Structure 1
Amino acid sequence: MKQQFVQKSIIEIAHWPEDAEFSAAYPEGARPKRTVFSPGDPDELFILSDWRHMFKRSDKKYPEQYWAEIIAYQVAMLLSVNAPPCFAAIDSSRSQCGALSPWFYEEGDESFYSAGNFFHKWVPDFDRDKGTQHNIIDADTFNNRVLGRNQIYEFWSMMLFDSLIGNTDRHQDNWGHLLKAVPLSKSVARRRQEKFDVKWRFAPWFDNGTSLGHELLPAKFTKWDDGALDRYILRGKHHLRYTRDSGERIGHINCFALVEKKSDVKLLLSKKLKGFDIGRLATILDQLVALPAPDGANLTSERAEFILRLTRRRAELLTEKLA
């Protein structure tokens, strides 16, 4: 498991250089975002020096939304799932708060290949915008080809993570693979008539902000009884379908019926859930609530308490499903 970092102060990025090349590729939309470079000697020990970072703000309708991305990273670490670090940051020169996450690969060393690329090639008339044929069966076939049969453990660990945080936006361009060209020895290169071999691995599970009830306002969730909470959880769905022809997306809780006969996968997922420390998450949430942020952009205690309640109940339902 990677080291888990919990920040003690909000990160100031007003002096971080703009990344002109990539910022132009991320125009402002529902969730404004831009890329910046960390300084050569960052104040925080856990921040990579001279490294590209994504700074993503909240939708104006949901000022606390960026916290979902930050908390999802903490959940991933507690679940032993690979997700990019994500921290609360502020650009005081623009009065902006957001989630700050380092680029998860080094340009020139690896390349990112989104799942949407292979779906576009494999599936006739694939809808690249909506991903209506984005499905488990084709994903499994491709992952087996480039990673081998053991990929199923990591892929379904992602499914468990998304089910626990209620992520509805793991679309075909929100996951993929990292590719690295590895030079071959001269003898192998002559035999293959190639100079390089390509090594594949899953990219970290990034872009996790459409989760943890981010779209719910306090006026609604503070009034929910246990029945309302369960109904909300059971309505949650992954972006993925089961097959390319399936119209219905698979549910966050019910999707694990798809690995019912894969006892080794179920055992791994059960162990991950058993090791998930909800008490540790409660402590982390308290620390995040204590971080200073402008009014309206801070993580409120109401929101934190709801996220804890929501995640605890999801963990209970998932544990029952995987039993």
Structure 2
Amino acid sequence: MSGHIQLPSEVIDISSWHPDDRFPVYPEGSREKSAWISPQTPELPFLLGSHRYLFKHSSDRHPVQFWGEIVAYRLGCLMGIPVPPAYVAQKSTDPRPAALIEWFYRSDDQTVNYEPGTVHMKRIIHDFDVKKGRQHNILTVLETLSEIDADLISDMARILVFDVLIGNTDRHQENWGILWRGIPSKPQLAPAFDNGTSLGHEVLDDKIPGYITDPQQTVHYIARGRHHMRWHQNRDEKIGHFELIEWLIKNYPNLKQELRECVSFDLGLFNSWLCTLPTFPVPVVPTMERIQWIECLLCLRIERLRSVLAKKD
């Protein structure tokens, strides 16, 4: 699963694209986003023609956050995990760059039906808290997936390993779902979308040198990482990133080899690509110190994941 590696000369300008009137604009909240339809014949060959893309800005407080979507896409390709393609883009009328994210199904395809995780959580937990997702829990998620198709459990496990590597804390019930494709329809887990709450995005640039000079700060930062999910619907505490992976392979030992393969890629080659991000000709790029810290975060997390997955039964 190689995917296209966007070059600095390939920043996408969507000024001539048409807004998707079927998709609302979301100016409220922490991250402004809107949907656009690509030209029938895009200027760049790696873009799909006449396809919906999400144009997603960073939050005002964390201007480099949109880069997390782009970095996460590249990591997903290397891990063999489906992640919607994400590229650097901007509009001539707005200097702010953003992530341009490929919609993971064609909106005009009548043979596709998408059900967000919320639908399934509400089916089992009738008073499910849709707004905060306080009852969002791993046991109900796995119960849901096993009822639909037991193979979906391994797909979710791979996404959770991906979330650990990028430090994603926001895989809530609206950030996963089931795609039903074809006639008769068959289920598959949607790609791992909405990956911006990750990779230390919330740490401001002036704080990063402290993490670099004192590695223990980074170790403690990683240890505090939590999934959005709880153990079960009546518990408030969220599950630790690595704690959940340990539990998964203990209860589903047949997943271990598949999850090992997800973290077997060459991180050095990825880091070489990562160092090119500051050369993109847009007003907001990661500093080299932030790049260095992301490299450190990924190195420590992948080492720990490999250690967890190497443990004997």
Amino acid at match of 2:156: F
Offset of residue 181 of structure 1: 5.1
Q: Which moved more, 1:255-264 or 1:159-168?
A: 255-264
Hey, what does 1:201 align to over in structure 2? 188
Q: Which secondary structure does the structure 2 equivalent of 1:230 belong to? A: helix
Q: What is the number of residues matched between the two proteins?
A: 303
Q: Distance in 1 between matches of 2:282 and 2:31?
A: 18
Does residue 259 of structure 2 align to residue 272 of structure 1? no
Hey, what does 1:194 align to over in structure 2? none
> Which aligned runs of 4 or more in structure 1 are off by greater than 6 angstroms?
none
Hey, what does 1:187 align to over in structure 2? none
1:211-263 CA distance string (max 9 Å, x none): 00000012212112121101000100000112112221111112122122432
Q: Which moved more, 1:253-262 or 1:77-86?
A: 253-262
Offset of residue 14 of structure 1: 1.2
1:198-223 CA distance string (max 9 Å, x none): 32111111000000000001221211
Q: Which secondary structure does the structure 2 equivalent of 1:223 belong to? A: helix
Aligned positions of 1:148-187 closer than 5 A:
149-180=150-181, 182=183
Does residue 53 of structure 2 align to residue 53 of structure 1? yes
Q: Distance in 2 between matches of 1:198 and 1:137?
A: 26
Q: Distance in 2 between matches of 1:261 and 1:203?
A: 23
Tell me if the contact between 2:168 and 2:227 (Cα under 8 Å) persists in the aligned partners: yes
Does residue 294 of structure 2 align to residue 292 of structure 1? no
Aligned positions of 1:174-323 closer than 5 A:
174-180=175-181, 182=183, 197-224=184-211, 225-259=214-248, 260-273=250-263, 275-294=264-283, 297-323=284-310
Tell me if the contact between 2:11 and 2:89 (Cα under 8 Å) persists in the aligned partners: yes
Hey, what does 1:32 align to over in structure 2? 32
Offset of residue 136 of structure 1: 1.1
Tell me if the contact between 1:281 and 1:308 (Cα under 8 Å) persists in the aligned partners: no
1:65-107 CA distance string (max 9 Å, x none): 1001110111111111111000010112122210001111112
Q: Provide the alpha-carbon RMSD of the alignment.
A: 1.4
Larger gyration radius, structure 1 or structure 2? 1
Amino acid at match of 2:91: D
Hey, what does 1:123 align to over in structure 2? 125
Give the TM-score taking structure 1 as reference length: 0.90
Percent identical: 36
Hey, what does 2:3 align to over in structure 1? 4
Hey, what does 1:80 align to over in structure 2? 80
Amino acid at match of 2:6: Q
Hey, what does 2:62 align to over in structure 1? 62
Amino acid at match of 2:242: I
Does residue 42 of structure 2 align to residue 42 of structure 1? yes
Runs of at least 5 residues in structure 1 that lack an aligned partner in the other structure: 183-196
Tell me if the contact between 1:105 and 1:111 (Cα under 8 Å) persists in the aligned partners: no
Amino acid at match of 2:5: V
Hey, what does 1:114 align to over in structure 2? 116
Give the TM-score taking structure 2 as reference length: 0.93
Q: Distance in 1 between matches of 2:21 and 2:261?
A: 44
Runs of at least 5 residues in structure 2 that lack an aligned partner in the other structure: none
Amino acid at match of 1:242: W
1:171-213 CA distance string (max 9 Å, x none): 001000111351xxxxxxxxxxxxxx43211111100000000
Q: Distance in 2 between matches of 1:306 and 1:293?
A: 21
